[in-house]
Chains A and B, each alone.
Chain A
């Protein structure tokens, strides 16, 4: 008897866990009427969950792609592909990022895996900044949102690319090493994958993906919650009314992009709705800054990189976007 139980231990645990989940499932409908919850909390909860539901597929896919990189890309590959020259490496990484369709939450686990594999930090940042900003879906949605006009979409891509290259260069001057958090001991990964069969490697990729999801999950949840909180309780109106001058309107729109944490595929329509209140340059600030770094994304990066590195990167992106737009303001 005991032997039978032991033999089916995994199945039994599975059944117990499914039963527990079903219990939660049925329990959930009965509790709804017993509490009186302030409507603003429910609004907060709805926005919070919607950000999560929207981001989860991308994070999961990102984690799985990271797993594939873990298996199939070796350090030797990376060393062969990435140019030794910093300038070339930055430009190449930005172009690869532009060709790679990703969103800002899915790209963090991928970047982390790439850095583990030996991609220099400046190249990884170039990839991370252009990936979510420049891709076909974002181009299409921006084109549509601004009345089927390529001007804004083109400026968004062009200036975004420029800013990404400048930030990546700045990173290459300031930082060396992988900039991982101290708690992350990164022992380089090679040889173990070679002498194992493909199925074994595949299996370990999946279990790694689970661990990675739990690592990032908590930061994703916190980021989504903060973004939802800001949306529910911060009156955008007073913020918007603060942006009168050319400089302050750019700052206001960038701030809005940061706290709203919208997916880069969806933010064009929101940006377009402000085009009567603000000049083109501040709309571009919203469109370029948002996909590069936002609140949700900052927390995800904190799950991987050092606090100091994330803050410096944030400051770099903010200042580069701001300076570029201020300089170009008279031409727009």
Chain B
């Protein structure tokens, strides 16, 4: 019998991958990497690695003419388009093993980090934030005639449906926080947003509300809003300006996009980047680089600690 060091090393690597993924799930750190919706997929990966580990273990000892070492048997006729780990060890192989081990080392040894304002800057935050459909001229004309109408409407809503104002979102819908909702339920959420004078941007509805508000910010002018997020600033902001921002994760942290609202209040200059705050304010409209942008006039705010789940995830709507 002869110990195959390379085979043993491969077994160790497979087990390490399995346990790294397991560890991330066990400690809950996995939410810092991927959208919890896809958690089960990475659990599958962990289990496959474990199975492969048990298979690999049988190859660590080479017994001559052993019955379980099949690759030896058909070495002459099996397709040799990959390395079986039997060939001799050299520098090139050392490098390729190091490359594979590298993520294991950083995964075990380095802490997971929540993305911060510096990444937001690299992603071109303000470009993403000014994601408003630029209102064509026709719309501007309409806009002039709109405000009284909107006022009227909101008055009616305010009187007729006071209960809706107290209940920002259908509580049943919120409590469940189902992974998938039907299109009907989604439309219901959006309808509630449109009727509410007080918009509460909680984690569950944030992405949906944000998208809806981006479509036509004028509709939401003058409404109260409550939101939380981390402070992001950029060169060119006034002293009293900052962005209360969040990262939206579709699949994994690599596809994070930044969303948030430009906010104005006197104490803004005293707040550092990455400070988490919770704020109330009123939605107004401003222009930034020639684009219409919502700006929130903050009425009151407080510092909070970073939430356990710092990221937002889009609501997935069942289509079929």
Contact = CB atoms under 8 A, between A and B. Distances in A.
B144 interface: no
Contact of B255 (A37, A40, A234, A267): A267
Interface residues of A, number: 96
Nearest to B40: A57
B173 interface: no
Contacts of B115: 43, 46
A34 to B, nearest CB: 10
Interface string A238-265: 0010000000000000000000111101
B89 interface: no
Contacts of B54: 14
A214 B100 contact: yes
Interface in A212-240: 212-215, 217-218, 221-222, 224-225, 227-228, 231-237, 240
A61 B96 CA distance: 22
Interface stretch (B120-128, B237-245, B262-270): B120-128
Nearest to B113: A42
A40 B56 CA distance: 37
Among B16, B41, B74, B253, chain A packs the most CB atoms within 10 A around the CB of B253
B195 interface: no
Interface stretch (A83-91, A183-191, A315-323): A183-191
A269 B83 contact: no
Interface string B95-138: 01001101100111111110110110111100110111110000
Interface stretch (A5-13, A93-101, A306-314): A5-13
Given A187-B80, A189-B78, A46 B70 contact: no
Contacts of A13: 3, 8, 11, 57, 60-61
A209 B99 contact: no
B44 A210 contact: no
Contacts of B124: 235-237, 240
Interface string B1-35: 10100001011111111010101100000101110
B106 A184 contact: no
Interface in A164-219: 180, 184-189, 191-192, 200, 203-204, 206-215, 217-218
Contacts of A184: 80-82
- Please report whether the interface of chain B is mostly helix, strand, loop or mixed according to DSSP: helix
Interface string B36-58: 00100110110011011011111
A227 B254 contact: yes
A39 B132 CA distance: 32
A221 B291 CA distance: 41
Given A144-B317, A206-B52, A39 B113 contact: yes
Range class of the B interface residue count: 35 or more
A21 interface: yes
A46 B127 CA distance: 24
B85 interface: yes
Contacts of A21: 12, 15-16, 19
A43 B79 contact: no
Interface stretch (A123-131, A270-278, A279-287, A324-332): A270-278
B83 A211 contact: yes
Given A116-B81, A192-B78, A218 B59 contact: no
Contacts of A240: 124, 127
B56 A210 contact: yes
Contacts of B132: 276
B221 interface: no
B71 interface: yes
A18 B250 CA distance: 35
A90 to B, nearest CB: 24
A25 B80 contact: no
A53 B122 CA distance: 23
Given A57-B41, A233-B122, A214 B10 contact: yes
A192 B74 contact: yes
A185 B80 contact: yes
Given A60-B48, A232-B122, A42 B319 contact: no
A329 to B, nearest CB: 19
A214 B85 contact: yes
A180 B32 CA distance: 38
Contacts of A116: 79, 81
24 contacts: A13-B11, A21-B15, A21-B16, A39-B116, A43-B119, A49-B112, A50-B253, A50-B254, A56-B45, A57-B41, A147-B211, A148-B183, A203-B68, A207-B71, A210-B14, A210-B55, A214-B83, A218-B100, A224-B103, A231-B122, A232-B122, A263-B252, A267-B255, A276-B132
Interface of B: 1, 3, 8, 10-17, 19, 21, 23-24, 30, 32-34, 38, 41-42, 44-45, 48-49, 51-52, 54-61, 68, 70-71, 74, 77-85, 96, 99-100, 102-103, 106-113, 115-116, 118-119, 121-124, 127-128, 130-134, 183, 211, 215, 248, 250-255, 257, 291, 314, 316-317, 319-320
Which are the 3 A-B pairs with shortest beta-carbon distances? Answer: A266-B251, A237-B124, A42-B113
